[in-house]
Amino acid sequence: MSRITKTEIFDIVAESLPVAASLAPKIDKLKAGQAIVRMPYKPDFVRPGGTISGPTMMALADFTMYVVVLSLIGRVELAVTTNLNINFLRKPAPKDLIADGRILKLGKRLAVMEVAIYSKGEREPVAHVTGTYSIPPIADKSGKSARSRAVK
């Protein structure tokens, strides 16, 4: 079971992530360690040559990884991308993109994930992404992190 709801994620988007909000992503599936995110097609996403731009796909992948990590750790808004690697595999059609993300490894401070991106209705992925998120230490009510308390 996910530790965050779709509503809570979109509250974060509305409050703090204007770029993600501008992409208008939809979460089609959310469970602990996995998410399927759909990005509805917009003509603004197309680059010369009639394909969806790389930065658009990277933004979708990054948002999907954010959703995946929050599904496991809950509302920790300061979890941030530390690495994103993308392989563009084929030309995406100018239509909705579907990102299928999953956790590979969740540690105390890092989460490693992968995302496959598809053009809607296509069986072969248009991009494959791996990425790492940094997870901030959990602070107690005194403001001290769990890590600093453990050192004492």
Residue pLDDT, tens place only, 79-124: 999 999 999 999 999 999 999 999 999 999 999 999 999 999 999 9
The CATH number for 135's domain is 3.10.129.10
Q: Look up the pTM and report it.
A: 0.91
Residue 1 lies in a domain: no
Residue 126 lies in a domain: yes
Mean of pLDDT over the chain: 92
Residue 44 lies in a domain: yes
**Residue 152 pLDDT level (bands cut at 50, 70, 90):** very low
**Residue 149 pLDDT level (bands cut at 50, 70, 90):** very low
Number of structural domains the chain divides into: 1
Q: Which domain holds residue 115?
A: 6-151
The whole-angstrom separation of Cα 22 and Cα 79 is 20
| 28-53: average pLDDT | 97
Residue 22 lies in a domain: yes
Residue 117 lies in a domain: yes
Interacting residues of 103 by C-beta distance below 8 A, sequence separation 6+: 33, 34, 68, 69, 72, 111, 112, 113
Above 70 in pLDDT, residue 27? yes
Residue 81 lies in a domain: yes
Residue 33 lies in a domain: yes
Residue 51 lies in a domain: yes
Which tokens sit at 76?
């920790």
